[in-house]
Amino acid sequence: MKIPAAPRPSAVEKYLRIPKGSFDHIPHYAREQALFAIESVRSMERKRVFRPGLYYIVLSDLCRSTEASVALGHDLNRKRVETFILTCIEALGYIAPRNYFLPIREVGDAVLILFSSFADVHDWWETTNSWLKGRNQMWKSVIPYASFRQFRLAAKTVVHAGEVAYSDGNIPIAQAVNEVFKVEKLFGANELGVTDAARSSAAPVLKDLDLVPRRRGSVLLPGARSKTEVFVVDKNRNG
């Protein structure tokens, strides 16, 4: 059986819309795995039909971006953001998805992904957070400690639920996509947050995964007459 060759970094960089050479700072022992994982995501996109419908909309935002950009300088900060984006997309290639998902690539220093299954959301979130810890250990060994304190990778992730349609070129358009950006500020590093809409839709899955939503606060979304409650999801400590 012939083993397929890994895709060229240039093709993946074009797909992710990141600068040429972004893979240069990934260790040689991890680079090929990253390329294969991202190629797996690309292949899934090509084979799927982008359908309008109800989705879990996931926004994962790199913490302390403004502070880090000032302290680290352009080059090291660029590597920080690219490491985060590559880790998020790479993790998609390593989960065993139960249903359809669509990565919408990067939005500045954040990633936006549509999922059909909340269980897939949780698998991806756990994988990504675990790998970010590994990337931190990698960078800790190659940059000065003072710089690493600012470089350290951590993300806050929030899940919303809503109807999504597609315009030309399979670009998702939805009020819910815009709303998710208004919610992420209520959460902190390594937290998984959900809006009330996502909590309600995922209630059976949360129970199966022994997860408990704990109220964090509320936010008034654009055009809404009443505030939307938001929750932090974590393991049931009373189980």
pLDDT tens per residue across span 59-118 = 999 999 888 888 898 889 988 998 898 888 888 888 888 887 777 766 778 888 889 899
For residue 3, being part of any structural domain is answered with no
Ordered DSSP codes for 166-212 = EETTTEEE-HHHHHHTTTGGG--TT-EEEEHHHHHHTHHHHHHTTEE
Q: How far apart are CA 32 and CA 12, in angstroms?
A: 12
Residue among 167, 174, 158, 163 nearest 219 (CA): 158
Specify if 194 maps to a domain.
yes
Predicted local confidence at residue 216, as pLDDT? 95
Across 68-72, 126-130, 207-211, least confident range: 68-72
Is residue 97 assigned to a domain?
A: yes
What is the amino acid identity at position 205? V
Q: At what angle do helices 9-16 and 74-92 cross, to 10 degrees?
A: 90
190 touches 63 (CB < 8 A)? no
Q: Write out the two tokens for 189.
A: 């590093």
In 3D, which of 107, 87, 112, 109 has the Cα closest to residue 33? Answer: 87
- Residue 28 resides in a domain: no
Q: Is pLDDT above 60 for 29? A: no
Q: Rounded to a whole number, what is the largest CA-CA distance in the chain?
A: 61
* Cα–Cα distance measured from residue 54 to residue 112, given in angstroms and rounded to the nearest whole number: 15
Number of domains in the chain: 1
The neighbour count for residue 101, using CB atoms within 10 Å, is 23
Tell me if residue 235 falls in helix, strand or coil: strand
Residue 34: CA atoms inside 13 Å, Cβ hemisphere, count? 27
Does residue 46 sit within a domain? no
Residue 30: what pLDDT?
55
Q: Which of 116, 117, 58 is nearest to 88 (CA)?
A: 58
Instruction: Kindly report the CATH number assigned to the domain that includes residue 62.
Output: 3.30.70.1230
Q: What is the pLDDT of residue 105?
A: 61
φ, ψ at 139 (rounded to 5°): -70, -30
Cβ–Cβ under 8 Å, residues 212 and 236 = yes
Over 70: is that where the pLDDT of 4 sits?
A: no
> Residue 18: inside a domain, yes or no?
no
More confident residue, 135 or 94: 135
> Which position has the higher pLDDT, 146 or 104?
146
**CA–CA gap between residue 189 and residue 63 (Å, rounded):** 6
> Is 50 exceeded by the pLDDT of residue 3?
no
Q: Is the pTM of this model over 0.85?
A: no
Contact 50, 166 (CB under 8 A): yes
Flag whether 176 is in a domain.
Answer: yes
* Residues 90 and 193 sit within 8 Å (Cβ to Cβ): no
Residue 37 lies in a domain: no
Q: Which domain holds residue 104?
A: 52-235
